[in-house]
Structure 1
C-alpha cells in the first residue's frame, strides 16, 4: 500500500473567481441571453484540487435555489449567481459571481418648438427616453409643419461600455413652421360634400372608397375636417385592395427573404420583409415592413431607399506626373497621355475632363494641370489631376560683344545666335553660335563668343613739308582717328587739311600738299613772319602773338 492511498483528500477545491461578467442588452431589448460557459469553463479549467476533476453547479440565483433547468434570460440589473464546486472526494467550495445586465438608453429626444416625437421602432416614450435601437419620428403640434422631411432619429450606442446612448438622425436642424389646406383626390374613391381644389377652414369632407377598396385600417370612408393650420383631421384615406401586395423591391439593395418578398405578387399576413443595401449605400427609412392582418404593410406611410454615399474610385494612380523636354528648336510639344478610368459601387460612373489641356495637344513650356472628374448618378464625385511639365533646355543668355550686337538670336536648345560688329570693327571668332545639349541634357554653346576689334588704317603717308597733328608717323591708326595737316610758314597748301580713318581701313582723303616758300608783297620783313604757320591761305600765331591778318590779300 502506497502512502498516497493512506492520505485522504480533505481540502475543498481552490477556485480562481473571474471578474464579474457585464452584459449589454441588444437593440429594443431589456434583457440578455447569457452563455454560462463564458466563465464556467475558465473556472473549471483554473480550479486547483487534489482530486480532480472539479464539478461546478449553479446552486442559486439572487438567493433563490436553482432547481431543474437554469434560466438563461436575465433582466436589467445585478444578479448574484451562487456556485458550488465539488471535487471527486466530495469536498465542496461555495462562491458567487455578480452578473450585471445593462441597457443602453437615450435621454429625451430634443425637439423643436411646437414639436412632438412618436416612436416608430420600439414602444418607449421618445419625450422621456428610449432604449437602444428605438426610432422616433418628429412631428409638429397643430398649426405647424416640419421644415424638413428628414424626421427620423434612432437611439444609438456612444461606445461599447457606456449606458448613455445618443440620438442619430438624418438632420440636426428641424423646425416647425405654420401650415395651410389642399383637397387631394382619393385614389380608387371619391369625395362627398366638397368640391374644387381647396376648401375653407372648418369644412368637413367625406372621403369614400369605391366598392371593393379599403384603407390599411379597414376603413371605407373617413370624415376629415380642415384645420386652421392647413392640415386635416384624421389620417388621409388610402383606398387599396384588401391584400398585402408584392413583390417588394429596393433599388441598390435587397428585400429579405428574397424568395418571398421580391417574387410573390401576394405576400402572406405577418411576413416580415427586411431591407438591406449593398456596399456603399445607406438605408434611408425603416429597415423592415410587416404585412398586417387587414392586408396592409406596417410601413404604409413610410418608404425605404438606398442612398449612394460612396464616391467613385479611379483605377489608375492619381495624381499622375508627366515630365517632357521640348524638341530641338521648339518651345512647345504635342504630349499624349491616357485619361484616367474610374469605377463605382453603383456600376454607373462618368469621367469627364473638368479643366486643363486635352491629351495629344500642343503644350507650351511650363507646368500644366489637367483635372478629371468622376461622378456617379447620386452626385458623389472624385477628382484626379494629371500634372504635365514641359521643359525647354536653354544655354546661358548670350551677351553682345563690346562695339557689336546680336541679330536673330535665341538661346533655346537647337537655336543659333548671330553676332555682328559695329561699323569700323572687325569680328574675331565665329559669327554664329549654336545651343547644344550633352548626354546629360545640359545645354551649352558649341563655340566661344567672338569679339569685335577696331579696324586699323595704315600710317598716313604725306608729301614733303606737311606737318601732321592727331596721328603719328609709321603707326597704324584706329577707325575714327582724325589727322589734321599743316604747312610751315612760307608754304602754301592745297587739298583737304583733315583726313579720317574709315571703317574699311582706308583714309577718306589724302590730297594735302605744301608748295614753295611764300613771300608777302607788303613791307613786313621775314622776321615778322617767323613764328607763324600757314593754314590754307591764312596765318595763325604759334608763339603767343596774334595778328589780325587772316588772309594774304589783307597784308
Structure 2
C-alpha cells in the first residue's frame, strides 16, 4: 500500500475527457488536477452525451473512482415522406437541419423543415405531401323492401358505384355495410362507400335500404309472469306462450298467435296468486303448498304489544310489494296458548299447524324472532331484532334468488315504487 502523501502532485494519472470538460478541485488548491483527494466534475460539449460517472475522485490506490466518456448525440433517421423527400445539411447529428420537398403535383402540409435537437429528438412533426382535389363517387338510390309473410329478411342487390379522379390515378374503393345480394333484416340499413386516390384524398356517398316486416303490437308480459315467443316475437305467425312466476297460476289461454291482419288471437292472460289452503291439519301439508314455489318469512312474537314486533310489522307492511317480487310469503305466529294465533294474509291456521311449524323450525314463543325459509323448506336465516326491508332484500337477492329471478327482478323493480 503506497504511503499516503497529499502533497504528491501526480498521485493519479492525468484525467482526460475527449469532447468534454473537466472541472477539478484539489486539497492542494491551484491547478492541481491529479493529487490525492482531487474531485473532478465531468461534462460534455454540445452535441455529446456523458456516459459514466459525472463526478470522480482521486483515491488512495492511485486510481480514479470511476470513468466516463462523451458520445456524439444522434437523432433517428427520418422516415421517407410519401410523395416527397428531404435533404439534411449535417446528416442526423445535433443542429443538423433537414428540409422537405414534395414531388410535382403535391403540396407540403406541416413543417417545412426539422432540426436535430440536443436531446436527440427532432423538432416539429413529420409533414405530408397532399393532392387536394378529391375523386368523384356516385351511389345507387335509396330503396324500401317489404318482407314476404312469415319472413324476417329480404335479399337486396345493387350495382357497384363507379369512381373517377381527374388525376387518373389508381383508386381504392371501400364499403361500410352489407354487400349487394345479401339478406337484410328488418329496419333501416345505411350503406356507405368511400374512395381514395394515391394522395389519400377521399370522396364518399351513401344510400339506405329499409326493410319492413308485418307485425302485431308487442305483447306485454303479465304481472308476476313472463312470455316466451317463437320467431321474432311479434311478426306474422309468431306464437307467444304465457308463463307465471313461482306461487302464481295462469288465468286464461296458454298461447296467442300473431295473425295476418296484424292482431293477436284471443285475449291476454293473467297470473294470479295461487290459492293457499289454511284448513290443513299439519305443518307438512301447509309447507308442501310452497315447496319449490315460494319462500317463507315466519314472524313470531310472544305478544302483539311487543315493541320489536310493532316496529317489524310496520316495516313488513311497507315491504310487502318487494317481498312479493322476491317470491316471499309472510306467516305470523302471534301470542301464546291458549290465545295463540297463526295467519297468512288474513287466513288463520289451526293450532296443530302452528305447533308443527314451531317444532319443525325450532321457533320459541319466549321472544321475538323471524325465520327466513327458502323454497326447498330449509331454514336459511334468523333475525332476533327488527330488520329493515333493505336488509331483507339484500340477503334474499344475494343468497336465495336464481340468476333468472335476478334478471326478472331488475325488469320489475319499479313496480313497487
Is TM more than 0.5 here? Answer: no
Q: Select the structure of larger CA radius of gyration.
A: 1
Q: Which structure shows the bigger proportion of residues in strand conformation?
A: 1
What TM-score results when the alignment is normalised by the length of structure 2?
0.30
Q: Which structure shows the bigger proportion of residues in helix conformation?
A: 2
- Which structure ranks higher in relative contact order (CA pairs < 8 Å, sequence separation ≥ 6)? 2
